């Protein structure tokens, strides 16, 4: 059975357990929802002793399923006040799986102000290590220091000084497989501040000296369907653009359909989309010696990541994604990929979510704090956060806190979390997901971009969101979303589950992993005090017409209220 390490940061005791039998068929998001439901009081202070930070691997971790090694992080969110799971690529989940570690649970609060590292040794033994010399470092310098100390063969899950300062917009950063830099983020919900509250600066995982061999229930059955799954993934024509360009290609789709957010989700469309589109992105990579088609984790066959260099050909950032381009770019009227990449690097280094940050900057621009389109001034706001100025401390708490402090009426958040890069008036099914997901406004909870519906019509949008949310939750319990949507089917997924874990499976039983997770999450939030009124988009989406399409978000409340009634 896989191992669980329970770390009490108050007593500094580390206990080892075997994964509970009732958790055996859970992973990632579904495992986090179960542990939080079982062990955390929904009314607790997110930064108090009652909250727990859970770090775990997916249900397929340790296997040779492509892109199976997503890392999930969970707890009660300081940003939303509800349940939260954030996941990321990178090397950490692979390193944990090779030690046969399924989950790490950080509990309680420390007595003093001393910072610690949680180190997993080559033999899988965990220990808390004093880390006073690491406090005050941001993620790039921290990882460099840890590699000097422990060698290159490590993975690191870390927080920057944003997490130390317990900003509610703080991330956990994970080392990227292709570049070795801390550029992969478990970004949403401010969980970096939970790790900061527990005075754990980083989890350092040494490469296993004796890698664990996964025990399949039926290896022959598994290998037959795994080969099919790999073939479908590699030969899926719909995924070609991911290998060749990566997620920045989405900008061309959303920009041409007015789904791309502009100027704080005002919808004031402009003609600058080409400056941040796929063609310009590839031209920048070519001119500066960058690269697309890179894997963020070991075993990935999709290779949707990239490395982005500056004008001097020096590494600037890796994994520059659509969401960052949308929220830190067009949403702020910044039409300069180099400026957006610099913001991305600042966010990864400091340890803050680029989505929340981009929306926060857009709110500041709407308030007149800095001009629209000014990339330097936008980066300056991140420097304000790093310095801990009066304004910076407000900005670090996210878009909602910033908008309220600056008197902005149009704040694009749900449950306190900033919207991702899809305009909900012009992609209404995703607006339903934003409103109803227990995770807050999160595109990975149920994006409807490829749904066979008119995105401007209210018809069928609630139903499609209701169908997709358990599917996305299942994917976040098993593997990377892109691998799931390239090859997951009623033919492949039940066979994979049966070959790996045994038993009889059909597709509905597979999806029930996510369905039950969503129901647990909803129940957690209800116990935390959430009501139907929290499942609503901001009023301006209902009353202000999109300048590009004339649409408003017009899904009836009764339909919204029934979305998660499974």
pLDDT at 418 over 80: yes
Q: What is the mean pLDDT of residues 117-135?
A: 98
Maximal CA-CA distance, the chain: 63
Q: Which helix (H) or strand (E) holds 349?
A: helix 337-350
Q: How high is the pLDDT of residue 293?
A: 93
With bands split at pLDDT 50, 70 and 90, how would you rate the model's confidence at 377?
Answer: very high
Model pLDDT for residues 539-553, shown as the tens digit of each residue: 999 999 999 999 999
Helix (H) or strand (E) holding 5: strand 3-8
Residue range 3-206, CATH number: 3.60.9.10
Hey, where are the domains in the chain? 3-206
Residues 39-43 have a mean pLDDT of 98
Q: Name the pLDDT band for 273 (thresholds 50, 70, 90).
A: confident
Mean pLDDT of 125-132: 98
- The pLDDT assigned to 241 comes to 87
Mean pLDDT over 68-72 rounds to 97
pLDDT surpasses 80 at 45: yes
Q: pLDDT band for position 270 (50/70/90)?
A: low
pLDDT tens profile 71-105: 999 999 999 999 999 999 999 999 999 999 999 99
Report the candidate in 83, 84, 260, 57 with the shortest Cα–Cα distance to residue 171. Answer: 84
Smallest CA-to-CA distance from 46 within 13, 12, 2, 79 is with 79
pLDDT of amino acid 565: 95
For 135-169, what is each residue's pLDDT tens digit?
999 999 999 999 999 999 999 999 999 999 999 99
Check whether 269 has a pLDDT greater than 80.
no
pTM: 0.97
pLDDT for 299: 86
pLDDT tens digits, 498-533? 999 999 999 999 999 999 999 999 999 999 999 999
Q: How far apart are CA 149 and CA 337, in angstroms?
A: 35
Pairing of strands 200-206, 116-120: parallel
The span from the first CA to the last CA of the chain, in angstroms, equals 32
* pLDDT for the residue 51: 98
Distance, CA of 73 to CA of 75 (rounded, Å): 7
Q: Which whole number is the average pLDDT over 270-297?
A: 92
Across residues 282-309, what is the average pLDDT? Answer: 95
Percent pLDDT > 90 in the chain is 96
Contact assessment for residue 445 and residue 475, using Cβ atoms and an 8 Å cutoff: no
Element (H, E) at 106: strand 101-107
> Do the Cβ atoms of 235 and 84 come closer than 8 Å?
no
Q: Smallest Cα–Cα separation from 350: which of 336, 364, 360?
A: 360
Q: Taking all residues of the chain, what is their mean pLDDT, rounded to a whole number?
A: 97
3-state helix, strand, coil in the chain (%, to 5): 40, 15, 45
């Amino acid at each position: 059975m896989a191992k669980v390490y329970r770390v009490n940061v108050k007593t500094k005791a580390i206990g080892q357990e075997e994964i509970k039998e009732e958790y055996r068929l859970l992973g990632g998001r579904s495992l986090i929802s179960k542990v939080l439901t079982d062990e955390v009081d929904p009314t607790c202070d997110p930064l108090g002793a009652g909250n727990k930070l859970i770090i775990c691997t997916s249900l397929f971790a340790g296997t040779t399923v492509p892109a199976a090694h997503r890392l999930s992080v969970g707890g009660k969110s300081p940003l939303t006040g509800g349940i939260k799971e954030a996941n990321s690529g990178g090397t950490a989940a692979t390193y944990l799986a090779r030690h046969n570690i399924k989950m790490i649970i950080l509990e309680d609060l420390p007595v003093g102000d001393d910072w610690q590292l949680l180190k997993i040794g080559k033999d899988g033994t965990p220990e808390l290590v004093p880390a006073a010399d690491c406090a005050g470092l941001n993620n790039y310098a921290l990882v460099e220091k840890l590699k000097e100390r422990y060698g290159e063969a490590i993975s690191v899950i870390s927080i920057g000084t944003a997490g130390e300062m317990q900003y509610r917009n703080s991330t956990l950063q994970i080392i990227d497989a292709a570049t070795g830099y801390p550029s992969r983020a478990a970004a949403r919900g401010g969980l970096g501040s939970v790790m900061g509250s527990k005075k754990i600066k980083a989890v350092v995982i040494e490469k296993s000296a004796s890698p664990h061999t996964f025990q399949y229930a039926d290896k022959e059955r598994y290998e037959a369907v795994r080969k099919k799954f790999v073939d479908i993934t590699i030969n899926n024509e719909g995924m070609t653009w991911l290998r060749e360009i990566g997620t920045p290609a989405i900008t061309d789709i959303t920009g041409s359909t007015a789904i791309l957010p502009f100027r704080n989700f005002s919808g004031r469309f402009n003609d600058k989309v080409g400056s941040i589109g796929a063609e310009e992105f590839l031209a920048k990579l070519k001119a500066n010696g960058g690269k697309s088609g890179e894997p963020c984790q070991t075993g990935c066959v999709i290779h949707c990541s990239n490395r982005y260099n500056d004008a001097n050909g020096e590494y600037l950032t890796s994994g520059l994604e659509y969401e960052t381009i949308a929220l830190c770019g067009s949403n702020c009227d910044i039409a300069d990929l180099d400026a957006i990449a610099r913001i991305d690097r600042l966010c990864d280094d400091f340890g803050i979510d680029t989505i929340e940050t981009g929306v926060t900057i857009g709110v500041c621009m709407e308030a007149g704090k800095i001009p629209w389109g000014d990339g330097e001034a936008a980066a300056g706001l991140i420097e304000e956060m790093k310095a801990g100025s009066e304004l910076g401390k407000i900005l670090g708490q996210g878009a909602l806190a910033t908008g309220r402090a600056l008197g902005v009426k149009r704040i694009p958040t749900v449950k306190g979390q900033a919207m991702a890069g899809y305009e909900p008036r012009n992609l209404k099914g995703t607006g339903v997901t934003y409103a109803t997901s227990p995770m807050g406004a999160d595109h990975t909870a149920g994006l409807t971009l490829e749904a066979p519906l008119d995105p401007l019509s209210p018809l069928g949008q609630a139903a499609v969101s209701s169908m997709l949310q358990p599917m996305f939750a299942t994917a976040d319990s098993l593997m990377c979303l892109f691998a799931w949507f390239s090859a997951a089917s009623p033919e492949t997924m039940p066979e994979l589950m049966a070959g790996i874990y045994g038993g009889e499976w059909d597709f509905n039983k597979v999806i029930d992993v996510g369905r039950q997770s969503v129901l647990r999450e909803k129940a957690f939030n209800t116990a935390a005090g959430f009501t139907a009124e929290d499942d609503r988009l901001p009023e301006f989406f209902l009353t202000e017409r999109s300048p590009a399409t004339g649409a408003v978000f017009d899904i009836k409340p009764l339909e919204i209220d029934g979305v998660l009634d499974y």
